[in-house]
């Protein structure tokens, strides 16, 4: 058995006791690190790894955190990419999450020592950002907000046929609403609906008139929609609330997105409640935001379903920091200057060329994503590589997700933070080194 590699396999306890491995155990937990040790030991038995290299192999195999989620460089040109976690949090929001991760005063009034309003800071920040709102509520996503409204207001919901949309992954608004026990009263046709269609449908069982922004598609041609500003006066005096799901979470109008509804304008136009997502154009954590009439918001807050849908302290902290802090990454991406994008792309391409990687700067088209502004195209700039780069970049130690256009891999810089450009260069160089 002389020379048998199995004789040289280091003991598990000895490897775990090595200072860098022990530090990893303290950071990641014993079970995860032990699994990496056992995998390295097996490689030694198989003859594919020298015993002296076990510790480096273990450390190389360990993830950065105890979570299986991995940071990804988003070079797709889609600013709010659902598959990549939608809006990246700002540094201020990340700091707030860390600060809130311990024991916090999320539902305690430190001045009186008594129970306080849950997440009061985040709710106040929302009201400061949207002055037309009388009160605010936060749940875990916009679909939850819609479900809570349908459940709490009850009865029959009047909604245009053209707004019975599918919101992604097979989830459909009418199915969501029906699951709450609400009855749907569909009005108008697929392409046209009038104010009279809504008012003619009102009855003693009407719980609300609901408008849903069809954010992920556009109907053109012979169309007609009844806007909030038209519906609100028509419903005045009926006692029927007007609820508008505006979708993407713009707080106020944005010059680049004139057709995207915003919360301030929607409420000022007469909506009784406005709903949106927190992790799209608002740029914060996943959340469903409800703004509007104080009596209706309180009705939602006191409904038993709210307890099942409310968010945790870290979400409230991230949301408040997004609203109070510097412009979040999604807004910086949206407002990026194409000339600055071109300068960044030139620097990235030059660094790659200096490393022997053929790279060119090309014009590209970015999109909002996340079901927002489906037809709106943002002029952007990308670095073009050989098509073979797409898969190995996605599978790299720091995954990079771009997209393939004809025979090229394009890495769009509008959806990537400037601070990540150096990591992008390193990831591409690492792939190129494997081929030399």
Residues 141 and 279 in one domain: yes
What integer pLDDT is reported at residue 297 of this predicted model?
98
What confidence tens digit (pLDDT) does each residue in 132-157 have? 999 999 999 999 999 999 999 988 99
Residue 138's CATH number: 3.40.640.10
Q: What is residue 181's predicted lDDT score, i.e. its pLDDT?
A: 92
* Contact between 402 and 369 (Cβ < 8 Å): no
Asked if residue 18 lies in contact with residue 55, where contact means CB atoms within 8 angstroms, the answer is yes
Identify which of 6-10, 48-52, 124-128, 173-177 has the greatest average pLDDT: 124-128
Cα–Cα distance between 209 and 206 in angstroms, integer?
8
Look at residue 38 in the predicted model and tell me its pLDDT: 95
Query: Quick check: is 308 in a domain?
Result: yes
Torsion sign, CA atoms 115, 119, 125, 127: negative
Q: Are 306 and 343 found together in one domain?
A: no
**Number of H-type helices and E-type strands within the chain:** 18, 17
User: pLDDT tier at 216 (50, 70, 90 boundaries)?
Assistant: low
CB 328 within 8 A of CB 322: yes
- 244 and 266 in contact (C-beta within 8 Å)? yes
Q: For residue 217, is pLDDT > 70?
A: no
95 and 115 inside one domain:
yes
Flag whether pLDDT at 379 surpasses 90: yes
Where does residue 110 rank: exposed (0-12), middle (13-18), buried (19+ CB within 10 A)?
exposed
Tell which wins on pLDDT, 422 or 215. 422
CA distances, 56 to each of 19, 49, 141, 412 (Å):
12, 11, 42, 35
What is the 8-class DSSP label of residue 60?
A: H
Share of the chain above pLDDT 90, in %: 82
Please check whether residues 123 and 247 belong to one and the same domain.
yes
- Do 105 and 252 share a structural domain? yes
Of all residues in the chain, the percent with pLDDT exceeding 70 is 97
> Do 170 and 265 reside in the same domain of the chain?
yes
Tokens of 126: 């929302």
DSSP code string of 415-430:
TS-GGGHHHHHHHHHH
The two three-digit tokens of residue 436, written as one number? 């030399």
Helix (H), strand (E) at residue 130: none
Assess whether 342 and 415 both reside in one domain: yes
Last residue of a domain, one of 326, 357, 391: 326
Residues 336, 389 within the same domain: yes
Q: Which of 286, 311, 326 is the last residue of a domain?
A: 326
Reading the block at residue 271, the tokens are 């909506």
pLDDT of residue 5: 61
- Judge whether 68 lies within some domain: no
- Which neighbouring-strand residues pair with 242? 209
In the listed set 292, 308, 326, which residue is the last one of a domain according to the structure?
326
Tokens matching residue 199: 């008012």
Q: Which runs of E-coded beta strand occur in 22-82?
A: 73-74
**pLDDT at residue 253 tops 70:** yes
pLDDT in tens, 303-315: 999 999 999 999 9
Output the DSSP codes for 164-195.
--EEETTEEHHHHHHHTTPEEEEES-SSB--H
- Eight-class DSSP state of 426: H
Shared domain for 236 and 157, answered yes or no, is yes
Are 249 and 386 in a shared domain?
A: no
Q: Does the global pTM surpass 0.95?
A: no
- Confidence at residue 190, expressed as pLDDT on a 0 to 100 scale: 85
pLDDT at 174 over 70: yes
178-190 confidence digits (pLDDT tens): 999 999 999 999 8
- The residue among 422, 423, 431 whose CA lies nearest residue 395 is 431
pLDDT recorded at residue 305: 97
Any domain includes 67: no
| Residue 335 token pair | 């407002």
Q: What is the pLDDT of residues 322-369, one digit of tens each?
A: 999 999 999 999 999 999 999 999 999 999 999 999 999 999 999 998
Residue 2 has pLDDT above 60, yes or no: no
Q: What is the predicted pLDDT for the residue at 215?
A: 63
Arithmetic mean of pLDDT, 50-55: 94
199 burial type by CB count under 10 A (0-12 exposed, 13-18 middle, 19+ buried): middle
**Is 66 among the domain residues?**
no
What's residue 22's pLDDT?
Answer: 96
Q: How many domains does the chain have?
A: 3
pLDDT at res. 214: 78
CATH number where 345 lies: 3.90.1150.180
Give me the domain span that covers residue 40. 5-61
Judged against a pLDDT cut of 60, whether residue 243 lies above it is answered with yes
Question: Tell me, what's the pLDDT at 348?
Answer: 98
Distance from the Cα of residue 354 to its chain's centroid: 36
Q: What does the block give as tokens for 244?
A: 């508008």
307 falls within a domain: yes
For all residues of the chain together, what is the average pLDDT?
93
pLDDT > 90? residue 376: no
CA dist 22 and 15 (Å) reads 8
For residue 192 the two structure tokens come to 């046209």
Question: Does the residue 375 lie in any domain?
Answer: yes
220 has pLDDT over 80: no
> Which tokens in the block code for residue 142?
């916009």
Does 395 share its domain with 418? yes
Contact (Cβ atoms closer than 8 angstroms) between residue 216 and residue 245:
no
pLDDT at 1: 46
Query: Are residues 377 and 312 part of one domain?
Result: no
Residue 373: pLDDT band (50, 70, 90) is confident
């Amino acid at each position: 058995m002389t020379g048998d590699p199995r004789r040289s396999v280091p003991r598990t306890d000895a490897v775990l006791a090595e200072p860098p491995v022990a530090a990893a155990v303290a950071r990641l937990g014993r079970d995860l690190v032990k699994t990496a040790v056992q995998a390295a030991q097996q490689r030694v038995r198989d003859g594919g790894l020298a015993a002296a290299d076990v510790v480096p192999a273990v450390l190389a195999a360990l993830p950065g955190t105890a979570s299986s989620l991995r940071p990804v460089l988003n070079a797709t040109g889609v600013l709010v990419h659902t598959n990549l976690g939608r809006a990246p949090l700002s540094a201020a929001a990340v700091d707030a999450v860390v600060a809130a991760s311990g024991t916090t005063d999320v539902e305690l009034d430190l001045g009186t020592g008594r129970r306080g309003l849950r997440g009061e800071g985040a709710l106040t920040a929302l009201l400061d950002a949207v002055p037309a709102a009388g009160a605010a509520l936060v749940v875990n996503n916009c679909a939850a907000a819609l479900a809570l409204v349908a459940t709490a207001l009850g009865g029959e919901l009047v909604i245009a046929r053209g707004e019975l949309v599918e919101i992604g992954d097979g989830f459909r608004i009418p199915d969501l609403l029906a699951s709450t026990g609400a009855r749907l009263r569909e009005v108008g046709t697929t392409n046209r609906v009038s104010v009279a269609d809504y008012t003619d449908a009102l009855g003693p069982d009407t719980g609300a008139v609901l408008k849903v922004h069809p954010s992920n598609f556009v109907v053109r041609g012979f169309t007609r929609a009844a806007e909030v500003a038209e519906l609100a006066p028509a419903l005045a005096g009926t006692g029927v609330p007007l609820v508008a799901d505006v979708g993407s979470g713009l707080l106020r109008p944005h010059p680049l997105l004139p057709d995207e509804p915003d919360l301030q304008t929607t409420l000022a136009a007469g909506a009784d409640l406005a709903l949106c997502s927190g992790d799209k154009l608002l740029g914060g954590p996943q959340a469903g935001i409800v703004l509007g009439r104080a009596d209706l918001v309180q009705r939602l807050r006191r409904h038993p379903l709210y307890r099942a849908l409310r968010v945790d302290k870290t979400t409230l902290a991230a949301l408040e920091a997004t609203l109070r802090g510097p412009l979040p990454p999604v807004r910086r991406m949206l407002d990026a200057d194409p000339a600055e994008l071109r300068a960044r792309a030139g620097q990235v391409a030059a660094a790659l060329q200096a490393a022997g990687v053929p790279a060119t700067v090309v014009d590209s088209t970015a999109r909002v994503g996340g079901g927002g502004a489906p037809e709106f195209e943002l002029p952007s700039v990308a670095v073009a590589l050989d098509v073979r780069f797409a898969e190995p970049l996605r599978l790299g130690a720091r995954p990079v997700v771009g997209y393939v256009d004809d025979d090229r891999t394009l890495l769009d810089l509008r959806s990537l933070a400037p601070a990540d450009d150096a990591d992008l260069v390193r990831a591409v160089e690492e792939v190129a080194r494997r081929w030399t």
